[in-house]
Amino acid sequence: MTQTEEATMAQTEEKVIPDFGDDTDRKLCIICSKGTLDMAYPGLVLANAALMEGIEVNMFFTFWGLDMLNKKTMAHLKATPVGNTAMHMPQALSPLPGMTAMATHMMKKEIDKLDFPPVDEFLQQIVDAGGHLWACKMSADMMDLEEDDMFEEVEDIIGATDFMNMSDGAQIIFI
């Protein structure tokens, strides 16, 4: 082997190519159980981030989380300072008329500033990225909701046992 050949080989061996983890079989299930604006976003952001990392994502919406899928409510989720000390206002003021509207307005503005989409658009982005949306049967029955009442991309209304099968081997996040 000549010196040049050796040098070429050494260089080829050294070449660092990013590992994009194409063969990952990581699975993530996110349970969304809240219907407030501030609690809707963590699930959406995490689902989207996981998809961008090539992770399989199933989102299961239960109890108040169904408000995120309900066509009537999904665009009108609210953030409230009531009982939320993290909003750092005197708790006695928080139930006053207009406070929830104000907190919601402010949060929506901040979300928009960060270029995060509104809930419906975010869900669409997650579906376009290959994520799956499922509604909880018991909650849907309780709230008298059918598939037609929900965001079109919801794949099905399923029971908790179906969810157990689906989440086999997955990491689960409950929000």
Binding site for another protein (CB under 8 A): 11, 14-18, 20-22, 24, 45, 48-49, 51-54, 114-117, 125, 128-130
Pick 143 or 175: Cβ nearer another protein: 175
Tell me the closest approach of the beta carbon of residue 73 to another protein, in angstroms: 23
Least CB distance to another protein at residue 64 (A): 24
Nearer to another protein, 6 or 128 (CB): 128
Is the CB of 11 or the CB of 161 nearer to another protein?
A: 11
Smallest distance, another protein to C-beta of residue 127, A: 9
**Residue 81: partners with Cβ closer than 8 Å, 6 or more residues away:** 87, 89, 93, 94, 99, 100, 103
Closest C-alpha to 58, from 148, 137, 147, 136? 136
Q: Which amino acid is at 97?
A: P
